[in-house]
């Protein structure tokens, strides 16, 4: 006789599945609720308690956790010792296990869920059976997903390559129990939280903390304001990663993941003034990150405009008092040390991509002046500032900067000349001290020609195009100094 054990929380499709199994000659064993559903549908079914000779106890906390069940699932049918143990203890082999688990994730996603609700929805017997059966995939077929019932019946009927099929389902099971356990960890450790919504109000969203150290947005101390929104978290992260790159006092304003104004200075107030002046329109409703403590004087300036989030290594008490006059503004205290080994993840349909965070910066000795004209000291400073910022701008990116602040930013264009056109249009000043920084090389000389038309006299770019010489020739014709870095900084 062949046995199939069915114990499912989600009863969808279980009756048809059981009927088909019976037609294929299986005897069905089931737990309380599943047993009842099958019996009511007129299916011949044996209660687990008949097999274990032990009633279900403690509101179902213990029902299948019994050697008669686990011996039947785990026995290696080719192992004499296992076969003898089955004989000795009157254990019947179980060849199919169809189990799905208490809905832990759905339960904890409900508003007002109590800890007790969550605890009661941690399935113990189910994952234990799934893991036993999956371990013994050489003999046992395990089905954890009701959408696999029809396919399973077809495969059992045809008998086609059952070894491969059982293995495929075993992998699915361990993946499932892994995620099930992860959801439990996330809930009880507070690592997972619901957000009000995602990028737009009709999108549901959660955040999951995996390594929320005090130098991250998710590990920040929030001194004031509403909870961070999905978009706030992403923008704040972009702003923090950029401001951390500076040793000098620096202020970074970010809108929609792109910097809109960046300034450095001898004091944080001076740096902020420059970042603000770089684009006093776009900063409105933005995120500001600072790499020095927020003083009273700085707080007074920040208080003048509407900002969503302010990030800084600390806030003076008086600064908090001033900024807290606005109910919603979020004040985040974050440590400024850089995590050298940081990794980033991007989800794509079918999986996700990971990569090292782009924290590299070309060494000065690897940079080359490739033109007749040498940059002036001020142009060098402007170029190096631009280079630092341009890698935080969505590609294709062109950035115009002075030695102390950004001047015009062209972000996320499908061609490089288009990015320069925007940077020029937005430029607050254009003079001999402004440098143009590009995140990628110039495929043609057109960007250089356009820069020359607007009086730009210094360019920094990775180099490496087969047509580099054309751009260099263009620079020489226009009297522009060009530095190549050998390092590209795309940001998609
Ligand atoms: N405790 C046990 O021995 C046990 N055995 C199976 N379960 C779960 O009980 C559920 C099915 O219960 P029922 O058939 O009574 O509706 C399944 O989700 C199954 O994973 C158990 N419950 C939880 O741990």
438 and 448 in contact (C-beta within 8 Å)?
no
CATH H-level superfamily of 2-189: Methylglyoxal synthase-like domain (3.40.50.1380)
32 in contact with ligand 1, CB cutoff 6 A: yes
How far apart CA 364 and CA 191 sit, in angstroms, is 42
Q: Residue 382: which pLDDT band, with cuts at 50, 70 and 90?
A: very high
Q: Residue 194: which pLDDT band, with cuts at 50, 70 and 90?
A: confident
334 and 216 in contact (C-beta within 8 Å)?
yes
Query: In terms of DSSP H, where are the helices of 304-443?
Result: 317-323, 377-390, 416-426
- Model ipTM value: 0.90
For the chain, give every domain's residue range: 2-189, 205-333, 361-484
Q: Which of 10, 18, 30, 31 to mutate to test the pocket of ligand 1 (most atoms within 8 A of CB)?
A: 31
132 in contact with ligand 1, CB cutoff 6 A: no
Q: Which atom of ligand 1 is nearest to the CA of 56?
A: 3
Map tokens 């004031």 to a residue. 224
Q: Using one digit for the tens of pLDDT, what is the confidence trace for 298-351?
A: 999 999 999 999 999 999 999 999 999 999 999 999 999 999 999 999 999 999
pTM over 0.80: no
309 and 189 in contact (C-beta within 8 Å)?
no
How far apart CA 332 and CA 219 sit, in angstroms, is 10
Segment 69-88 shows an average pLDDT of: 96
The secondary element (H helix, E strand) that includes residue 96 is: strand 96-100
Q: Which of 4, 6, 9, 132 to mutate to test the pocket of ligand 1 (most atoms within 8 A of CB)?
A: 9
Tally Cβ neighbours within 10 Å of residue 270.
16
Q: In CATH terms, are 205-333 and 361-484 the same topology? A: yes
pLDDT surpasses 90 at 78: yes
Q: What are the φ/ψ torsions at residue 469 (nearest 5 degrees)? A: -60, -35
Q: Residue 417: which pLDDT band, with cuts at 50, 70 and 90?
A: very high
297 and 289 in contact (C-beta within 8 Å)?
no
241 and 218 in contact (C-beta within 8 Å)?
no
90 in contact with ligand 1, CB cutoff 6 A: no
Q: Residue 421: which pLDDT band, with cuts at 50, 70 and 90?
A: very high
Which pLDDT score, from 0 to 100, does residue 210 have? 86
Tally Cβ neighbours within 10 Å of residue 335.
15
Which pLDDT score, from 0 to 100, does residue 190 have? 83
In the structure encoding, which two tokens stand for residue 222, read together? 């929030």
216 in contact with ligand 1, CB cutoff 6 A: no
The alpha carbon of 167 and the centre of ligand 1 are apart by a number of angstroms equal to: 24
Which pLDDT score, from 0 to 100, does residue 180 have? 97
By annotation, the residues acting in catalysis are 135, 256
Segment 267-282 shows an average pLDDT of: 98
How far apart CA 102 and CA 430 sit, in angstroms, is 65
Sheet harboring 406-410: ordered strands across?
368-369, 481-484, 458-461, 435-438, 398-401, 406-410
How, if at all, do strands 307-312 and 286-290 pair? parallel
What letter does residue 228 receive in the DSSP assignment? P
Q: Which of 54, 102, 127 to mutate to test the pocket of ligand 1 (most atoms within 8 A of CB)?
A: 102
> Which of 101, 86, 115 has the alpha carbon at shortest distance from 189?
115
Which pLDDT score, from 0 to 100, does residue 110 have? 85
63 in contact with ligand 1, CB cutoff 6 A: yes
pLDDT surpasses 90 at 112: no
How far apart CA 53 and CA 30 sit, in angstroms, is 14
Which pLDDT score, from 0 to 100, does residue 257 have? 96
> Which of 103, 104, 65, 102 has the alpha carbon at shortest distance from 185?
104
CATH H-level superfamily of 361-484: AICAR transformylase, duplication domain (3.40.140.20)
Which pLDDT score, from 0 to 100, does residue 492 have? 93
Q: Residue 189: which pLDDT band, with cuts at 50, 70 and 90?
A: confident
> Which of 123, 136, 52, 59 has the alpha carbon at shortest distance from 95?
136
Map tokens 């043609």 to a residue. 444
Which pLDDT score, from 0 to 100, does residue 109 have? 85
36 in contact with ligand 1, CB cutoff 6 A: no
**Average per-residue pLDDT in the chain?**
96
Which pLDDT score, from 0 to 100, does residue 61 have? 92
Indicate the CATH number for domain 205-333. 3.40.140.20
397 and 390 in contact (C-beta within 8 Å)?
yes
> Can you state the percent helix, strand and coil of the chain, rounding each to 5?
40, 20, 40
Map tokens 């169809």 to a residue. 98
Q: Residue 191: which pLDDT band, with cuts at 50, 70 and 90?
A: confident
31 in contact with ligand 1, CB cutoff 6 A: yes
How, if at all, do strands 286-290 and 45-47 pair? unpaired
Q: Given CA atoms 457, 461, 463, 468 in this order, what sign does their dihedral have?
A: negative
- Provide the CB-side half-sphere exposure for 91 (13 A, CA): 22
What percent of the chain has pLDDT above 90?
95
Range with the poorest average pLDDT among 189-198, 290-299, 372-381, 428-437: 189-198
The alpha carbon of 77 and the centre of ligand 1 are apart by a number of angstroms equal to: 26
Check whether the bond before 207 is cis (ω within 30° of 0).
Answer: no
Range with the poorest average pLDDT among 56-65, 326-335, 434-443: 56-65
Three-class secondary structure of residue 54 per DSSP: coil
The alpha carbon of 49 and the centre of ligand 1 are apart by a number of angstroms equal to: 13
> Which of 235, 259, 407 has the alpha carbon at shortest distance from 311?
235
298 and 319 in contact (C-beta within 8 Å)?
yes
pLDDT surpasses 90 at 410: yes
């Amino acid at each position: 006789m062949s046995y199939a054990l069915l114990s499912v929380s989600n009863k969808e499709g279980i009756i048809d599945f059981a009927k088909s199994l019976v037609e294929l000659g299986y005897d069905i064993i089931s737990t309380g609720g599943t047993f009842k559903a099958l019996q009511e549908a007129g299916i011949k079914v044996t209660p687990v308690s008949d097999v274990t000779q032990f009633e279900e106890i403690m509101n179902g906390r213990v029902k299948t956790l019994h050697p008669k069940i686990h011996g039947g699932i785990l026995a290696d049918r080719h192992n004499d010792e296992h076969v003898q143990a089955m004989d000795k203890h009157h254990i019947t082999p179980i060849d199919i296990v169809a189990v799905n688990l208490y809905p832990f994730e759905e339960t904890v996603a409900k508003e007002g869920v109590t800890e007790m609700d969550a605890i009661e929805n941690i399935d113990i017997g189910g994952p234990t059976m799934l893991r036993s059966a999956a371990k013994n995939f050489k003999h046992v077929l395990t089905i954890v997903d009701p959408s696999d019932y029809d396919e399973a019946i077809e495969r059992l009927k045809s008998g086609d390559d059952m070894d491969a099929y059982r293995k495929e389902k075993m992998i699915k099971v361990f993946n499932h129990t892994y995620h099930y356990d992860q959801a439990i960890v996330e809930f009880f450790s507070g690592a997972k939280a619901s957000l009000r919504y995602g990028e737009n109000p009709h999108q549901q969203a959660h955040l999951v903390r995996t390594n929320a150290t005090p130098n991250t947005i998710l590990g920040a101390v929030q001194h004031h304001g509403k909870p961070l929104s999905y978009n706030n978290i992403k923008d704040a992260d972009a702003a923090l990663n950029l401001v951390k790159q500076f040793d000098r006092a620096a202020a970074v304003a970010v809108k929609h993941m792109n910097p809109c104004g960046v300034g450095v200075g001898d004091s944080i107030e001076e740096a902020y003034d420059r970042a603000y002046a770089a684009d006093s329109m776009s900063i409105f409703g933005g995120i500001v990150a600072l790499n020095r403590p927020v003083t009273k004087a700085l707080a007074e300036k920040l208080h003048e405009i509407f900002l969503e989030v302010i990030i800084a290594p600390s806030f003076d008490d008086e600064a908090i008092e001033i900024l807290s006059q606005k109910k919603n503004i979020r004040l985040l205290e974050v440590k400024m040390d850089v995590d050298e080994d940081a990794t980033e993840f991007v989800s794509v349909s079918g999986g996700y991509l990971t990569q090292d965070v782009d924290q590299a910066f070309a060494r000065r000795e690897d940079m080359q002046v490739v033109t007749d004209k040498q940059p002036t000291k001020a142009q060098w400073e402007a170029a190096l500032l631009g280079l630092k910022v341009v890698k935080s701008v969505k590609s294709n990116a062109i950035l115009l900067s002075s030695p102390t602040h950004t001047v015009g930013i062209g972000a996320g264009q499908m061609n490089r000349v288009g990015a320069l056109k925007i940077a020029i249009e937005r430029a607050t000043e254009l003079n001999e001290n402004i440098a143009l920084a590009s995140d990628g090389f110039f495929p043609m000389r057109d960007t250089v020609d356009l820069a020359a038309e607007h009086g730009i006299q210094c360019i920094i770019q990775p180099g490496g195009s087969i047509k580099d010489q054309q751009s260099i020739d263009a620079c020489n014709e226009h009297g522009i100094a060009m530095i190549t870095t050998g390092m590209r900084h795309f940001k998609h």
